[in-house]
Structure 1
């Protein structure tokens, strides 16, 4: 039996250490109740796919049922936090029974790609998605996108700032709501580290905290704070606002959205994505499943049910007034590099953003 290399042991230890921290720090609201349902897989059943899903069961189960019907492959699912599942896949290595990893964010996929645990996807599948939203090495592909935005109260704010760097100015002291333990905020900070370096990001975090922002557990109450006049700005993902509008009606929602400009880290577009596990016994069926997730049916599901951006070429969102994805002045970043979340969590603790 081949012995694990020192680099692999380090990677497993690092991600295993990160997983409970991620669980403690929370995840995107829509993926926060992942559940722990586990189903064993009998490889003798043939075309049965075991999916490790970092997206919660309530959200993704209906789509996986559609996948079964569309592909003719039985699907069994293990649900959990994306970082925890990535750690589990690294521990299992070549002995894993998993065929497909459906992740809430690009960082967990990047961690597996870095350690060679994802198979190369067919070029035809990769070509369905813009290069910005897939791995440079072809090991994973995004299936839905979420943009970072600044929610603002137009009753108090004439124009929201174009950069998150403006949020450290005295004029915004005590007026900005955010969810520091939420995975989407932490991915944004990781993106800032990749784009601007650790020193600049550390300074921003210290200055931002010194400006007395309002702390919330999740994005939903942070948005509610703006909507109810308790805060003037909030750092969230775009879909929280669109979900609120869909539920309550545009005339009942006071808050508005502003997209940062000029490639600001506050305009990061992250993805939920999928990768085929290397050495899967059902690699052909898993690749077929990837193509289904990039089909018009699945992409429309993400658009309609979660208000996220469809990423496959030729599929447009049905969400009213949602700006086209290519109109967002997002930063140019390799999303695989968002895998360095452990370093981000250490920096958040160092600066007092999280305890």
Structure 2
């Protein structure tokens, strides 16, 4: 059931990779959007500003530079905005960085998420849709990954914080009847992507003639998912809040709060890392210099999404082929960096 909104929609992480896409789609659909982001320096702030430039000035968009970990500021935002829906896409991302700066993950991903939940409770939002991650599956060999699986064994702090988000959301759905939907993203890539992600790192290395670092000697598989597909899926789910009477036995596990949902959103076609690199070389028209390295702590061997529940409940499926998505990324990368060199 898709809801028609009159109050603004709050998008956290609006200057981020996925958040900026979600905000744009909502604006294109005629919604009012209030975006927030702390614009931190985890990666190039100019890239975040450039994403934001594509939103500012558009009718219906308002931006606030706010850190979701700031309890008072977030409380005031919710009071002032009174959002009908919240797309929570702000977080401290990255698996490897969590080994270096663990406190950033607790502050943003746990304390920050607590502030989002409290804001939703205080304002009586119609739906909170939030980003989780395929990393919660750890190194499970039970593929494709299903949301029915046990995910009690994360292997990175980042994954642990995302699992915590799901547990916290369930509590608030149970206690306060807040409709919440978690979306476990699978290796998102595309134009305006994050510089710490493999596709961006590899393209930058290829263009500069530097070696690309290939961990576990390339014996990794990833469910690469194009950002347009992810963002469209987020919006579709966001505007279709869970309904208590939809919690039928075939859709809901026993003991799960009626207003709580959890879905995988991915391509459902994992690709070997070396195959991805070969495709990237093809669309870039340039060979990569390869440096093979051991497995990194916190990394997983494979990601593979079972998206049958998302397809069943929303008639939604990711569709962009890897070569098409990589070609779009390389075109954007070349244009963006030539204009900003």
Q: Same fold (TM over 0.5)?
A: no
Name the TM-score, length of structure 2 as normaliser: 0.32
Which structure has more relative contact order (CA 8 Å, sep 6+)? It is 1
Q: Which is helix-richer, 1 or 2? A: 1
